[in-house]
Structure 1
Amino acid sequence: MTDLSRRFVTTDDFARAARRKLPKIFADYIDGGSFSETTLRRNREGFDRYLLRQRVLHPLGPADLTTPLGTGTAALPFGPGPVGFMGLYHRDGDICVHRAATRADTPCVISTFSINGLATMKQAAGTVPDFQLYLDRDPEVNASYLDQCRATGVKRIFLTVDTAITSVRERDVRNGFRSVSRITPSLFLQFAARPAWSLSLLRGGFPEVELVAGRPEFGRGALAQAGNLSGRLDIDLTWDKVRQLRADWDGELIIKGISDPEDAARAAAEGMDGIVLSNHGGRQLDHGPATITRLKAVRAALGPDPMLFIDGGFRRGSDIVKAIALGADFVMMGRPFAWAVAAAGEPGVDHLIRLLATETAITLQLMGLTSIAELKAAGPEILLTE
């Protein structure tokens, strides 16, 4: 048994280790939700509504986790979702996560707010990730984002639509995240209390968001850029602009941030390739429902053909199995990958993927199933409700 296997048995182990390594301003940014954090808590609690049926005395072979996705397949039914500023939690953290996903043959989505840009990540991993797009209020900036996607060979864009109005995340307010533009005395003390993180991350200067490098309107350094990027989001984002993006982008277009069946039906009618059922990890609308509890209705409204991704509170292989049974095609996970890279770098991300794959496989087999295909065929009938 390796040292990582003993230290990190669950995603929560990574979370605890990440909090010990990171300055509070970044640990709270990863962990926090909006206002009372009720939606954040419900995302986890929602999984308890669904019970797994155990079937026995079925022929069992090795579990096949291969997952159809659009016109291709993924080796796993889960992968890293977009997390802003991943490269602040571990030097080149976004590259580490993407390389690990590439080795696992599963999709990885990087944020507009990623520290390393698409070209750098492609060079480092040999593959290009999917790209999560925040529309800027300046069309020229948006055009530059699409140009970088085309130049690097991005095939799938995830347009985030639930952040035109940025909610209040009280942990970030207390810490000054998005409001500080430089290292203040308070931040210096936080960084000094985490010497290993500081020595690793800050060699060569404080990181910047590569996607907006050379644009003075975004400021210099990731702290200033965090506030400026957020403040420049297009608050007039409507279906008209989604249609324009559809016309401008030839690759797959996924709408991220849909949680209502009526919006899912509209996305299908507008010709989207898929949606992400998401409440932004409980970081936007407080007192909303858990995403897992909306999944069956959203799939019914979306129809069988568009891809249905989901995120929000996923921590276990059993969570992933429940989502696939209820109609999801793929599970995107944000915080667990941020915790893993912060806690143990690239080897930590590799280990997290193995942990989740093992949990998923064992759960399937204990239910009398041997593949994701069988799970999809069984559908909600493989679940019980209290």
Structure 2
Amino acid sequence: MDLSINKKYPSVYDLRERAKKKIPNFAFEYLDGGCNEDVNLHKNTSDIREVELLPYYLSKHTRSDMKTELFGHVYDAPFGIAPVGLQGLMWPNAPEILAKAAFEHNIPFILSTVTTSSIERIGELTEGRAWFQLYHPTEDNLRDDIINRAAAADCPVLVILCDVPTFGFRPRDIRNGLAMPPKMSVKNILQILGRPEWALKTLVHGQPNFETLKPYMPKGLDLKQLGKFMDQTFSGRLNEEKIKPIRDMWKGKLVLKGVSNEADAEKAIRLGLDGIIVSNHGGRQLDAGESTIRPLVRIAKEYGNQIKVMMDSGIRSGPDIARTMASGAEFTFLGRSFMYGVAALGAKGGDHTISLLKMELQQVMEQICCENIGDFPNHLIK
């Protein structure tokens, strides 16, 4: 096995522990936390880890190939980097670090509307290979302008988000002043002073901003005005009438993220979408909901032959990717794992985390005698 990683951090858990020591606590809790009592946050991963895989030790096996075709492109692995808001808050320049690493490793990177790099910059870094996730604006002209910018940046896939009809109730963020409108407290300032590397790099790269949204924001907003702007600018509740004009306008592949039941999957098919991402926003929206692996199994079985079925939320490691693929997903996305990597290792964090996940997944495939990604369901213990 090629251990071309930093051997001090041979697991995502190690990266998480390192990240906790490298960034201010308010930033770590924003990254690490879920909503309400964190029930679904933990259930996402624990339910994935109930899935068991069957090894075949005496079967003929030549090699395991994790290359995966998705929307006409062959990726080097069946996982990508999920959209995460405010990435630059957790580590300065994080979206650019991750986009570069994703491009070099030939896996997809999804840019969030509310992260800290612009569509144009990420499109440039990835030579038009990055996907873009759209938070639905309240105004049609703003929606159309953002979509046109994504098209001009050659984004091959537009992801529309359906699981944020209202902001999740996140006690940590409220205590830390990161709810809308955000507020920087004396406690937060003291935490920054205790993380000099983070503070220095933030000084170099500048205070994180919603770079994609800058052209639409009045200049000189204070934090309270920023919260009001965000509340007035975006309406997270999607419906079929809001999706139809996006489908008509967008000529590339269109994916609905946040699907958690069969009824919404069926509507996505009826509206002519190309894919769905089964997701519960990383356990950050509905603590009383199902974990993602449960509806994935049902949706993949019912609709997997009609639409691309993918999954995020709760996946942390190579074995988790394998379990999810065996359960019916055609592709997977991870968010926190990559952010732990960047927060722990800075500019080297993206490459390290991707390499680590590839190595873990490769080991599982060889162990169970799985020759290609499509063979994973044959190793699922029912």
Which residue is 2:54 aligned to?
Answer: 53
Q: Aligned in 2, Cα 1:327/1:196: closer, same or farther, shift over 3 Å?
A: same
Q: Summarize the alignment of residues 365-376 of structure 1 with structure 2, pairs less than 5 Å apart.
A: 365-375=366-376
- Checking the alignment, whether the CA contact within 8 Å between 2:164 and 2:285 is kept in structure 1 is yes
Q: Tell me the TM-score normalised to structure 1 length.
A: 0.92
Aligned partner of 2:284: which letter? R
Aligned partner of 1:192: which letter? L
Which residue is 1:291 aligned to?
Answer: 292
1:269-299 CA-partner distances (Å, limit 9, x unpaired): 2211010000110001112121112212111
Residue 309 of structure 2 aligns to a residue in which SS? strand
Aligned partner of 1:54: which letter? P
Q: Summarize the alignment of residues 1-386 of structure 1 with structure 2, pairs less than 5 Å apart.
A: 5-181=6-182, 183-203=184-204, 205-217=206-218, 220=221, 225=226, 228-229=229-230, 232-375=233-376, 379=377, 381-385=378-382
Q: Write the distance in 2 (CA, Å) between the matches of 1:127 and 1:223.
A: 35
Q: Write the distance in 2 (CA, Å) between the matches of 1:168 and 1:191.
A: 25
1:134 Cα deviation from its structure 2 partner? 0.3
Q: Write the distance in 2 (CA, Å) between the matches of 1:359 and 1:236.
A: 38
Aligned partner of 2:260: which letter? S
- Checking the alignment, whether the CA contact within 8 Å between 1:118 and 1:128 is kept in structure 2 is no
Aligned partner of 1:247: which letter? D
Q: Write the distance in 1 (CA, Å) between the matches of 2:9 and 2:40.
A: 27
Q: Note the aligned Cα RMSD (angstroms).
A: 2.2
Residue 58 of structure 1 aligns to a residue in which SS? coil
1:237 Cα deviation from its structure 2 partner? 2.3
Residue 50 of structure 1 aligns to a residue in which SS? coil
1:122 Cα deviation from its structure 2 partner? 2.7
Q: Aligned in 2, Cα 1:126/1:271: closer, same or farther, shift over 3 Å?
A: closer
Aligned partner of 1:347: which letter? K
1:234 Cα deviation from its structure 2 partner? 1.0
Residue 7 of structure 1 aligns to a residue in which SS? coil
Q: Aligned in 2, Cα 1:202/1:225: closer, same or farther, shift over 3 Å?
A: farther
1:355 Cα deviation from its structure 2 partner? 1.1
1:70 Cα deviation from its structure 2 partner? 1.9
1:290-341 CA-partner distances (Å, limit 9, x unpaired): 1112212111332414111101111121111121122211110000011111
Residue 64 of structure 1 aligns to a residue in which SS? coil
Q: Aligned in 2, Cα 1:3/1:183: closer, same or farther, shift over 3 Å?
A: farther
Give the number of aligned pairs. 381
Residue 371 of structure 2 aligns to a residue in which SS? coil
Unaligned runs of 5+ in 2: none
1:144 Cα deviation from its structure 2 partner? 2.0
1:100 Cα deviation from its structure 2 partner? 0.4
Q: Tell me the TM-score normalised to structure 2 length.
A: 0.93
- Checking the alignment, whether the CA contact within 8 Å between 1:4 and 1:348 is kept in structure 2 is no
Q: Write the distance in 1 (CA, Å) between the matches of 2:213 and 2:286.
A: 28
1:236 Cα deviation from its structure 2 partner? 4.6
Residue 381 of structure 2 aligns to a residue in which SS? strand
Residue 338 of structure 1 aligns to a residue in which SS? helix
- Checking the alignment, whether the CA contact within 8 Å between 2:80 and 2:333 is kept in structure 1 is yes
1:182 Cα deviation from its structure 2 partner? 5.8
Q: Spell out structure 1 runs of 4+ moving beyond 6 A.
A: 221-224
Q: Write the distance in 1 (CA, Å) between the matches of 2:285 and 2:80.
A: 22
- Checking the alignment, whether the CA contact within 8 Å between 1:181 and 1:224 is kept in structure 2 is no
Q: Aligned in 2, Cα 1:218/1:382: closer, same or farther, shift over 3 Å?
A: farther
Residue 133 of structure 2 aligns to a residue in which SS? strand
Unaligned runs of 5+ in 1: none
Q: Percent identity?
A: 28
1:183 Cα deviation from its structure 2 partner? 4.0
Residue 299 of structure 2 aligns to a residue in which SS? helix
Q: Aligned in 2, Cα 1:235/1:76: closer, same or farther, shift over 3 Å?
A: closer
Q: Write the distance in 1 (CA, Å) between the matches of 2:328 and 2:237.
A: 31
